[in-house]
Every structure is written in C-alpha cells, then in structure tokens.
Amino acid sequence: MSSKEKLKDYQEKRDFRRTPEPAAGAGKAADRPIFVVQKHAARHLHYDFRLEVEGVLKSWAVPKGPSTDPKEKRLAVPTEDHPLEYADFEGVIPEGEYGAGTVLVWDTGPYRNLTEKKGKPVPMEEAVTHGHVKVWLEGKKLKGGYALTRFRTGKDEAWLLVKADDEEADARRNPVNTEPESVLSGRTIEDIEAAAKKGGY
C-alpha cells in the first residue's frame, strides 16, 4: 500500500480549510526513522505515540502517556496513520473538527527497530502487523527500549506500551507530570492556546 492509500482515513476525517493540521504531502523521510509523542489536550487528554514506518507515522493514543517504569503497562489504542509532516505539528484544532483541542510535541527523536523473532530481525511494518514491536528510543525525555504489544484484535483493538527493563528504565521519573513542555518550542498547552487566541501559532 502506498503512503497516499495509507493516509486516506487521515484525509477523510479532516477539513483542511478549517484545521491547521498538515494535509498529507510528499513526506520527507529523515536519514533515520523518528518517533514522536504528541500531548493532545482534546475532550480527553491523551498522548499520541507515533513511529515512522514506511512513509507514514503509525499511531496509538495512550491515555496516561508513556512511563519510564517497566512495571507500568500503558494502554495504547491504535489510531489512523498520520503523514510524516505531522511530526512537528503544534497548534489548536478548532471546535467541531476531528480531534478538537491543543497539540504539542512532547518528545521526539530517532528510533531503532529491535524487533526479533527466533533471533532474526523483523521489519517494522511486519512487526506492527503481527502486534509485537520493540524499539529503542533516542528522545529528549524517553530513552531506551519500549515494547508495544497487541492484546486484543478486532473492533476494540488494543495494545500495551511498556518500558523495557534496561539501563534507561527509572521508576522514580514521571516525565508526563514533571516535564509537560514541548521539546520543540518549550511551550505548555496553555501557552499554545494563548498564542492561538491572539491569532498566532
């Protein structure tokens, strides 16, 4: 499937005359694939966890956000593929539009695919299809291994996002609460809302 086909859902849910979100464009891939976690203060606050895979951002909504504690299992509900351009989107999605609310880039950086099956590397797209993904994140807030595991399929498909028990694990950190700002702009959700009210970004 081409990126354009994968992004059909994304395009259909949005009116690009109304939302400041990017329409799917050419999608410039970086040298290394990236991950991004976007804090999304919508009707229910959540964190969108996205991994660049074959020209799109594979996406999961994580209500409680990622943890740095390997004992914490965080629910991750898959959402539609997003365009690569979405990775640096911050702003306010207006009332009445899909995902209405405020978005900031909570963390981002390159990642490495660590997924293996019987000792052999599994390509990312296959790992996502099979529901077993292991990645190494090199973000500003999130570092080290994370596992994404599907535990329910069908209409209510659901996954768990769990920190691997490695040298970057730290049960005492709680970055979702202690580091709320954007890693791109240093702004909080409130800062972005205030800027939008003044007609800016």
* Binder among 6, 14, 39, 40 for Mn ion (CB under 5 A): 40
Min. distance of Cβ 104 from Mn ion in angstroms? 11
Instruction: Evaluate whether 164 touches 134 at the Cβ level (below 8 Å).
Output: yes
Q: Which stretch binds Mn ion (CB under 5 A): 47-55, 122-130, 153-161, 165-173?
A: 47-55
48 binds Mn ion (CB under 5 A): yes
Cα–chain-centroid distance for residue 200? 24
HSE of 182, CA atoms in CB hemisphere, 13 A: 21
Min. distance of Cβ 58 from Mn ion in angstroms? 14
58 binds Mn ion (CB under 5 A): no
Give the residue with the Cβ less far from Mn ion, 40 or 163: 40
How long is the chain?
A: 201
21 binds Mn ion (CB under 5 A): no
Give the residue with the Cβ less far from Mn ion, 40 or 74: 40
Q: Which stretch binds Mn ion (CB under 5 A): 48-56, 134-142, 170-178, 182-190?
A: 48-56
Tokens 């080290």, residue located? 144
Tokens 């972005």, residue located? 192
Residues 6 or more apart whose CB falls under 8 angstroms from that of 6 comprise 55, 56, 81
Give the residue with the Cβ less far from Mn ion, 31 or 156: 156
Distance (Å, rounded) from C-alpha 105 to C-alpha 124?
Answer: 23
187 binds Mn ion (CB under 5 A): no
Q: Is 37 helix (H, G, I), strand (E, B) or coil?
A: strand
Instruction: Evaluate whether 23 touches 82 at the Cβ level (below 8 Å).
Output: no
Min. distance of Cβ 153 from Mn ion in angstroms? 21
Q: How many CB atoms within 10 Å of residue 90?
A: 22
Min. distance of Cβ 162 from Mn ion in angstroms? 20
Q: How many CB atoms within 10 Å of residue 130?
A: 12
Give the residue with the Cβ less far from Mn ion, 75 or 164: 75
Strand partners, 113: 135
Give the residue with the Cβ less far from Mn ion, 40 or 143: 40
Give the residue with the Cβ less far from Mn ion, 37 or 122: 37
Which stretches of the chain bind Mn ion, using CB under 5 A?
40, 48
